[in-house]
């Protein structure tokens, strides 16, 4: 690709400005997280955290670690459950052509469209009866609904690309279906497992609606509720609020840095067929 | 496109694995495995769907058809009320304003997200140094937890100390009570929602642009077409299927939006930024005395809207696959 012409660099300049505009709120969050309380209401606001403080982050360490821990555990549980449910389903839909398979795909597509608030109300009624309100397993079960349809979609798409000869070779070697799935299909589907896991983790980490309805009254509250309580308490310590927000954004940042290509893949998978 | 490179990488891996395996006899006998056995692999997800999608949905419908109190919610035995909850909701003076807010919020969000996303996609499609990196960075707003974005915007739009009002002050515009005046609250949540939605539109439209063969543009360049003519003559028509799907997915997501509005304004002040989703939440969870029946009824109305959009989406997708 022709790159180093002056015209191309000029476009890079515009690109930097556009990206800067889009990311300005993120910068502002970071800036405020370092701002001292007495500078918080300065006019005009300080554009850089000169005289910055780490008080906000100290507050995070003091108050938010249990919330972060809960979010982390719920995230891991959601990933495990999502992959365990979606990977076999993707394999079956992609390679075994079960009767009724298309109907199941259709149901999954519809399931994605159900607004969270509706699921939350149904879950609340059920969890109350089962006694799993305000527990980790309850929240994991609910958060898994965010990613399972997406997971099946991704696994089906990628496992369709596995050549049939490979699977037949395994059968010839005497492997059953379960063994083929475990020692042939899963290893070659590593990329799709990574994609699904990343999104499942991110969605469960970001979830607010299930957290606030199903875990809002208990000891196991995730970080989204940690931030929400900060705001709701009429707490005017905005550096602490924004510091928590910065910490809560770390998984998204890590995801983008480590797994950029998987992210674009996940975003487009649902929308574009090639 | 991404998925193609991905698949080919997988295929390469498999090539290695297959050649490493001892050469067995060619698969001569045509095995016809029982395809019903495949349901063994589908059983977990099917049970899960039934237990955690279908049953909550059923409970929600049931909630909307009964006269629930806190007591009967816990102990059962709520009397059947037919469509009373729906009548209550439809007759509520808040119904039409809330529906209007939902429509305005959705249409305005989609229009701005799509237009800005399209402009950015066209810009980044020109491939300049750093374009990949910058494009990836723009994804950040979409990946952030909604509560993070919503609280950041709350502070940016704060009446007294927010940066937006400070910036308006520089150009001698009076400060606006973005979140606390009924006239501006809906605009404020739309601004935040557009910001969050732009990256999704950018990425999907960008991948659509990449699928347009370069020869099309070369031919029109030979014909002396201007950039603007190229856009309306080639890009826009060829991008129409992807655009339709982007907008419909956006519609489904936007109808569901709850977090941003609830965190920024709680639907207020005086319900001026309430949508069906926040109203439903307020009735079910936002008050000391929950009204699950009407809350569930609103939720079900919302789901009907989402399903209509969803069915249109599936229809368009099917038609494209046939082509």
Which residue has 């975003």 as its token pair? A267
Q: Among residues 76-115 of chain B, which lie with CB inside 8 Å of chain A?
A: none
Picking from A124, A202, A208, the nearest residue to B143 by CB comes out as A202
Task: For residue A16, give the chain B residue with the closest CA.
Answer: B134
Least confident of A187-196, B94-103, B115-124: A187-196
Query: What's the pLDDT at A269?
Result: 63
Instruction: Please judge whether A144 and B36 are an interchain contact, meaning their C-beta atoms are less than 8 angstroms apart.
Output: no
pLDDT at A233 exceeding the cut of 90 = no
Query: What's the pLDDT at B218?
Result: 81
Task: For residue A95, give the chain B residue with the closest CA.
Answer: B38
Q: How far apart are CA B101 and CA B58, in angstroms?
A: 28
Query: What's the pLDDT at A201?
Result: 93
Instruction: Please judge whether B130 and A15 are an interchain contact, meaning their C-beta atoms are less than 8 angstroms apart.
Output: yes
Q: If you average pLDDT over every residue of chain A, what do you get? A: 86
Query: What's the pLDDT at A270?
Result: 53
pLDDT at A175 exceeding the cut of 80 = yes
Residues of B whose CB is below 8 A from A238? 155
Of residues B277, B282, B233, the one with CA closest to residue B257? B277
Numbers of helices and strands, H then E, in chain A: 15, 0
Of residues A230, A263, A233, the one with CA closest to residue A245? A230
Give the architecture (CATH level 2) of A64-235.
Answer: Orthogonal Bundle (1.10)
Q: Assign residue B173 a region: left if phi > 0, alpha if psi is -120 to 50, beta otherwise?
A: beta
Q: Among residues 1-60 of chain B, which lie with CB inside 8 Å of chain A?
A: 1-4, 6-7, 9-11, 13-14, 17-18, 21, 24-25, 27, 31, 33, 35-42, 44-46, 48-49, 52-53, 55-60
Beta strands in B148-227 (DSSP E): none
Q: Touching check for B252 and chain A: CB below 8 Å?
A: yes
Q: How far apart are CA A196 and CA B91, in angstroms?
A: 44
Cis? peptide before A174, omega within 30° of 0: no
Q: How far apart are CA B239 and CA B125, in angstroms?
A: 13
Residues A156-176 have a mean pLDDT of: 87
Which residue has 């997988």 as its token pair? B10
Of residues A73, A78, A32, the one with CA closest to residue A239? A32
* Distance (Å) from the alpha carbon of A136 to chain B's nearest alpha carbon: 16
Top residue of A64, A111, A122 to mutate, by most chain B CBs within 10 Å, is A122
Q: How far apart are CA B235 and CA B1, in angstroms?
A: 17
Task: For residue A104, give the chain B residue with the closest CA.
Answer: B46
Domains belonging to chain B, first-starting first, are 86-322 (1.10.3720.10)
Q: How far apart are CA B183 and CA A17, in angstroms?
A: 31
Instruction: Please judge whether B145 and A205 are an interchain contact, meaning their C-beta atoms are less than 8 angstroms apart.
Output: yes
* Distance (Å) from the alpha carbon of A200 to chain B's nearest alpha carbon: 12
Instruction: Please judge whether B280 and A121 are an interchain contact, meaning their C-beta atoms are less than 8 angstroms apart.
Output: yes
pLDDT at B12 exceeding the cut of 60 = no
Residues 6+ apart with CB under 8 A from A140: A74, A77, A78, A81, A204
Percentage of chain B beyond pLDDT 70 is 89
Query: What's the pLDDT at A16?
Result: 95
Query: What's the pLDDT at B14?
Result: 36
Alpha helix ranges (H) inside B211-270 = 214-222, 227-230, 236-238, 240-256, 259-264
Question: CA angle at residue A133 from A131 to A134, to 5 degrees?
Answer: 130
Picking from B35, B74, B249, the nearest residue to A99 by CB comes out as B35
> What is the pLDDT confidence band of residue A86, given thresholds at 50, 70 and 90?
very high
Model pTM greater than 0.90?
no
Residues of B whose CB is below 8 A from A180? none
pLDDT at B2 exceeding the cut of 70 = no
Give the number of C-alpha atoms closer than 13 A to the C-alpha of residue A79, restricted to the C-beta side.
17
What count of CB pairs under 8 Å joins A to B?
353
Span A206-223, pLDDT tens digits: 999 999 999 988 888 999
Q: If you average pLDDT over every residue of chain B, what do you get? A: 83
Q: How far apart are CA B69 and CA B61, in angstroms?
A: 16
For residue B80, the cross-strand partners are B66
Q: Are B320 and A273 in contact (CB under 8 A)?
A: yes
Top residue of A80, A121, A253 to mutate, by most chain B CBs within 10 Å, is A121
Of residues B193, B182, B195, B192, the one with CA closest to residue B273? B182
Q: Rounded to 5 degrees, what are φ and ψ at A152?
A: -60, -40
């Amino acid at each position: 690709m022709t790159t180093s012409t002056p015209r191309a660099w000029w476009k890079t300049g515009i690109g930097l400005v556009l990206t800067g505009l889009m990311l300005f709120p993120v910068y502002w969050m970071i800036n405020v997280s370092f701002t001292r309380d007495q500078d918080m209401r300065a006019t005009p606001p300080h554009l850089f955290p000169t005289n910055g403080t780490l008080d906000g982050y100290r507050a995070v360490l003091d108050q938010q670690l249990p919330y972060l821990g809960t979010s982390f555990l719920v995230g891991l549980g959601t990933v495990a459950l999502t992959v365990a449910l979606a990977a076999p389903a993707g394999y079956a839909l992609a390679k075994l052509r079960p009767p009724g398979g298309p109907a199941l795909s259709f149901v999954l597509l519809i399931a994605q469209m159900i607004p969270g608030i509706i699921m939350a109300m149904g879950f609340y009624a059920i969890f109350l009866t089962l006694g799993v309100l305000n527990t980790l397993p309850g929240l994991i079960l609910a958060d898994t609904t965010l990613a399972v349809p997406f997971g099946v979609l991704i696994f089906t798409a990628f496992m369709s690309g596995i050549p049939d000869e490979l699977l037949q070779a395994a059968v010839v070697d005497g492997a059953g279906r379960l063994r083929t799935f475990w020692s042939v299909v899963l290893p070659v589907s590593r990329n799709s497992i990574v994609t699904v896991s990343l999104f499942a983790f991110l969605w469960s980490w970001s979830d607010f609606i299930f957290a606030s309805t199903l875990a809002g009254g208990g000891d196991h509250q995730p970080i989204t509720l940690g931030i929400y309580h900060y705001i709701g308490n009429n707490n005017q310590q905005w550096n602490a609020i924004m510091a928590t927000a910065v910490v809560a954004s770390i998984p998204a940042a890590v995801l983008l840095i480590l797994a950029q290509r998987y992210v674009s893949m996940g975003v487009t998978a649902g929308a574009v067929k090639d | 496109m991404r998925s193609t490179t991905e698949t080919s990488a997988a295929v390469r891996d498999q090539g290695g694995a297959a050649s490493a395996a001892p050469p067995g006899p060619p698969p001569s006998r045509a095995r016809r495995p029982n395809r019903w056995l495949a349901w063994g692999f589908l059983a977990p997800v099917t049970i899960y769907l039934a237990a955690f999608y279908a049953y909550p949905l059923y409970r929600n419908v049931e909630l909307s058809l009964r006269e629930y109190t806190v007591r009967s919610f816990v102990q059962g035995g709520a009397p059947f009320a037919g469509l009373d909850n729906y009548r209550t909701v439809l007759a509520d003076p808040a119904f039409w304003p809330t529906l209007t807010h939902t429509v305005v919020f959705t249409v305005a969000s989609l229009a701005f997200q799509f237009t800005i996303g399209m402009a950015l996609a066209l810009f980044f499609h020109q491939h300049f140094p750093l374009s990949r990196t910058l494009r990836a960075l723009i994804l950040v707003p979409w990946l952030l937890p909604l509560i993070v974005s919503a609280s950041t915007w709350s502070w940016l739009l704060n009446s007294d100390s927010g940066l937006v009002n400070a910036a308006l002050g520089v150009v001698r515009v009076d400060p606006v009570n973005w979140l606390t005046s009924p006239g501006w609250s809906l605009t404020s949540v739309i601004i935040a929602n557009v910001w969050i939605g732009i990256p999704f539109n950018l990425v999907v439209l960008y991948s659509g642009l990449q699928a347009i063969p370069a020869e099309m543009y070369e031919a029109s360049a030979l014909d002396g077409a201007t950039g603007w003519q190229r856009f309306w003559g080639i890009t826009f028509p060829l991008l129409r299927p992807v655009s339709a799907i982007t907008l419909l997915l956006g519609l489904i997501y936007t109808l569901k939006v709850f977090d941003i509005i609830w965190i920024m304004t709680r639907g207020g002040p005086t319900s001026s930024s309430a949508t069906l989703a926040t109203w439903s939440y307020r009735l079910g969870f936002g008050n000391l005395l929950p009204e699950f029946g009407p809350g569930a009824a609103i939720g079900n109305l919302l789901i009907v809207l989402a399903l209509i959009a969803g069915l249109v989406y599936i229809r368009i997708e099917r038609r494209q696959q046939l082509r």
